[in-house]
Amino acid sequence: MKLTLGFSPCPNDTFIFDALIHHKIDTQGLDFEVVFDDVETLNQKAFNSILDITKLSYHAYAYATEDYVLLDAGSALGFGVGPMLICKKEQDLNNPNLKVGIPGKFTTANFLLGLAYPHLQNKEEMVFSEIEQKLIDGEIDLGLIIHENRFTYQNKGLKKVKDLGEYWEEKNNCAIPLGGIVIKRELPLAVKQTVNQLIRQSVEYAFANPKSALPFIKSHAQEMEESVMYKHIDLYVNKYSIDLGVEGKKAIEMLFKQAYENKIIPKMNKNLFLN
C-alpha cells in the first residue's frame, strides 16, 4: 500500500523520517510517496485533504480535524523551542500599525503572536526563510521567525523582541506544541496504527543512529552548518516525538482551549488523538 506523506525539508523532519522513507526499518508492506513543502503550504494542503499523512502546525490542526487525526509519534513539542519575534531596530510594541512578517496565518507561531500581542494585526505572510532579509531591507518592522532562523538572526544584526516559546512556558508551565503529524481519518484503523508505530520506530532509529540521516538532512538543509543542523534537531526532536504521552496531550489540549477561548480557532467536535 502506498501513502502520500508530507513534511518539511527542515532538519528535524528529515531526521525523523529518514529511516522510514529509506527503509532502514521494516515498513510492513507500506510505501511512502514523499512531498516536501514549507509548513504553511502543508497546512493549506491539509485543509484540502490532499495528503494521506502530513506534518502541520497545531494551530492548523484545529481547522483540519474533520479529515485528520493526530498521531502520537512525530510531533514537535518542547521547552525553549518557540518562535521568536525579532526586529532590526527598537520598536514601540504598543503601536498597532507595526508591520509584522509572519510565516503563515495558520502557523502556531502566529497563534502565539495573537496571544501575546493581540493588537498587532498588520501582518504580511511570507515564506519563513525570507523574514530575516525583509527585516534587513526595511520592508517590515518586526519578524516572526521559526525553525533554524532562531540560530542565525543575531549573525545578521537582528535583535530579539520576545521569545514566544518562553512566553507560553511562563504562562502555562508546560511544553509548547508546535507541529504534529496527522493521518486521514478515513484510512483503516490498522493502517493508522501501523503508520504511528513506524514513525515511532523511525524516530527511535534516528536517536540510536544519529549520523545515519546526515546525508539526507544535508541535502535539504539550505547549506546549513552541521552544528546548526544538530542544534535544530536537539531542540525539536525529543521524547514527545517518540510518543506524546500524558504531558504532551495535556499541553495540546491547553493550546486548543486557550485558542478557542480567545476566538482564534473554531470549536472542534472530533477526538483529537488516535489513541
- The answer to whether 227 is a known ligand-binding residue is no
How far, in Å, are 144, 202, 257 from residue 158 at the CA level? 12, 36, 34
The grid cell for 137 is 531591507
Asked if residue 55 belongs to a known ligand binding site, the reply is yes
Q: Angle, to 10 degrees, between the axis of helix 108-116 and the axis of helix 164-172?
A: 70
Q: What values do phi and psi take at 61, rounded to 5?
A: -60, -30
Q: Which residue has the cell 493521518?
A: 183
Residue whose cell numbers read 508492506: 29
Angle at 229 between CA 227 and CA 234, to 5 degrees: 95
CA distance 203 to 39: 20
Active-site annotation holder among 22, 23, 59, 147? 147
User: Annotated catalytic, 119?
Assistant: no
CA angle (241 as vertex; 160, 84 as ends), nearest 5: 10
Is 88 within any annotated ligand binding site?
no
Residues annotated as binding site for substrate?
55-57, 108-109
Give catalytic residue positions: 147
The annotated binding site is made up of 55-57, 108-109
